[in-house]
Structure 1
Amino acid sequence: MLPAPSHLLCGTLALLSAGVALPATAAHLELQGGRSYMDSYGANTAFVEATFAPHTIGANGRLDWSPDLSAGWIDSRDVRRYRNAAYGTDHAVALVAAGARFHYGDADAWYRPLFFSFQLAGANRTTQALSTHYQFVSSLGWQGEHLSFQIRHISNGSLHKPNRGETMALVGLGFDL
């Protein structure tokens, strides 16, 4: 059983703070908000995400990855047809995730702000969309200095049914620490 949302959020903030406090570690912190959809049913969503200093992959130095930590919340939905189902839609879900964000290109390339990220996540509740406590998070987006846009999908990868997943559009405001 995972901790309650407040404990989950406090633990994540402590983890993010510890990561930011490491010497010589640059971090970019984003506050993200948007709308998430399961089938055609929407819900509000919010995330706090921290990415850290990049690490080069390969000899040419054009591909790099950054550690990526996030904590998020997806609001509940009142979907009448799922009210008595084993996995409902009437509870909000809190998640914590860790993984990597990938960028490609020279530092001055026009496409350098584009990114792909992949994370493993833990959720405090199960729903029609997220039917297990473990999830996979994939994001495709654009990250500027203080603004980001991304499409994110969260699901259990068909390891357990139902596997509707959550697909969301997020806008983020960020700053370097």
Structure 2
Amino acid sequence: MQLPCGSALRSGVVALALAAAPLAAAGSDIELAAGASTTTDREFTRTASIAWVPKLRDLDNAVLRAQTGLIYVDGRGPVTDRDLEDEVWVGYVGLRYERTDNGLTLGAAIGAQSGETDALSGDPQFVTSVGWRWDRFSLSVRHISNASLHSPNNGETALVGAWRF
């Protein structure tokens, strides 16, 4: 049964909140993010994510962090000649490099998905991001794609704002 877009988003937010509990028990460095995602023909949808980003190592003017998280991409309404209606979840693990002097943030991760669309069509999924951090708030561009390992390979590119607890 296909849930209406609002119900799917509410379900996604509830699932992300439930996923935060075990991460919060592990300590701080929990990051919640929300934004808008698009695919090849500018079909926009909502996205949200939760991540645990513990510090691994201090570097000169930077911090190297591990990252593990869950990304939710809301399904879109019917689109002509495209299958974009399903909601997709992507669980991932990777590394994040954060500059302490200018806020630049770079991330790379690998993940697996649940749900499938023409934009996200098979495992593994690669999650890359670039952005800037100001204390607890960050703004990033995130791309999810399977690097043409499966067709179609349209990918999702999102602009997300995040808050770290």
Tell me whether the two structures share a fold, i.e. TM-score over 0.5: yes
Q: What is the number of equivalent residue pairs in this alignment?
A: 154
TM-fit CA distance, 1:170: 1.0
Deviations 1:87-114 (A, max 9, x none): x22211122112111123xx4x2x1x21
Question: Is the 2:16–2:70 contact (alpha carbons within 8 Å) kept by the matching residues of 1?
Answer: no
Q: Once the 2 structures are TM-superposed, how far is the Cα of residue 17 of structure 1 from its aligned partner?
A: 3.9
Partner residue, 2:108: 118
Within the candidate set 142, 150, 154, 2:132 is matched to: 142
Query: Taking structure 1 as reference, are residues 36 and 79 closer, same or farther at Cα in structure 2, changes over 3 Å only?
Result: same
User: Match of 2:30?
Assistant: 28
Of 143, 157, 161, the match for 1:167: 157
* Residue 80 of structure 2 corresponds to residue 80 of structure 1: yes
Q: CA deviation at 1:46?
A: 2.6
Structure with greater Cα Rg: 1
Query: 1:13 deviation in Å?
Result: 4.6
SS class of match (2:81): helix
Deviations 1:114-137 (A, max 9, x none): 100111121112211111032000
Q: Taking every aligned residue pair, what percent have the same amino acid on both sides? A: 25
Deviations 1:48-97 (A, max 9, x none): 3334332227xx63443111122122122321112xxxxx2221112211
Would you say the 8 A contact 2:51–2:67 is kept in 1? yes
1:95 corresponds in structure 2 to 90
Contact kept? 1:121, 1:136, Cα under 8 Å: yes
The TM-score with structure 1 as length reference comes to: 0.73
Shift of 1:10: 5.3
Q: Does the aligned pair in 1 maintain the 2:144–2:155 contact within 8 Å?
A: yes
Are the counterparts in 2 of residues 47 and 70 from structure 1 also a CA contact under 8 Å? no
Match for 2:53: what amino acid?
F
- Length-normalised TM-score, structure 2: 0.77
Structure 1 residue runs without a partner (length 5+): 83-87
Structure 2: give runs of 5+ residues left out of the alignment.
Answer: 1-7
